[in-house]
A = this chain, B = another copy of it.
């Protein structure tokens, strides 16, 4: 079996580390370049001793030519707005596939992107944007397979969109007044220095943050708009919260029922909607998802409750933010792009 050559730009963040961890389990993959601006020259084992005995490789500076030369696919795991130029540059290299874990190519409308991310697209990046596919395999598997540039979804959006897609697609709920209350572990904030991320500050604590304008709203609203048939703008009220755990997101979504359904109906509708999605698990109505069930897995677990006293449907959806919310989903996309089994290296 010939292995594909894989490079990671941004190898020493939490998404980068998780990519390495997952790819080491994949026999079809050879890691060729690990790029880190902060730690170039050091061995990956000095930064992450957990890879001792598994990977012995030095981190390098960013070098687009070198990377293009010996990669079949590049994962870019960089902060939002930093990815824009680098991916644009990479995307002009023939035969190279790119999976970008930032938000920079997720938003179809450049003005919308500029509004939420305070950064303007260039002419070049706009033309690259047109080729990009929003990498949620459960919705876009057919085009991901043929794509060379995948914009890997955000962690919150993955949990929210998968959680409520069947309701909007089947118009069981009102597109108005959707409320999403999400809770994430601290690894979602990345590996940068910040007092607010210190153990003593997060531990035994819980808080809301970016209470009305978290930039993940943009991709959630974009995808809900498509799902509901593009007939009307969808605006959600979204509140992210910080959980004192390392990994995991649980989102609780509240939607107004428009068709009368009970929990068993929903169970059937969801199972049908996700019948070809190996990584979505629909819980029977007697049990609800919990973050621990998806820990270190690529699953998105979905449960529901019909609150008939107030005519609402509540959706509970859970993922591991570093796996299905980032690096696992990126590898799922890689598998699709290269014709590997979708679950390869992921179960």
Contact = CB atoms under 8 A, between A and B. Distances in A.
Contacts of A254: 179, 181, 237, 254
Contacts of A294: 50
B50 A297 contact: yes
A292 interface: yes
B250 A206 contact: yes
B181 A200 contact: no
Interface residues of A, number: 75
A208 B288 contact: yes
A180 to B, nearest CB: 10
Contact of A208 (B208, B235, B316): B316
A323 to B, nearest CB: 13
A61 to B, nearest CB: 21
Interface stretch (A88-96, A152-160, A305-313): A305-313
Nearest to A25: B347
25 contacts: A24-B347, A50-B297, A52-B293, A52-B299, A183-B206, A183-B241, A186-B198, A197-B198, A197-B200, A199-B244, A203-B203, A203-B244, A204-B292, A204-B295, A205-B248, A205-B291, A207-B250, A207-B288, A208-B314, A208-B316, A211-B316, A235-B309, A237-B312, A237-B314, A239-B314
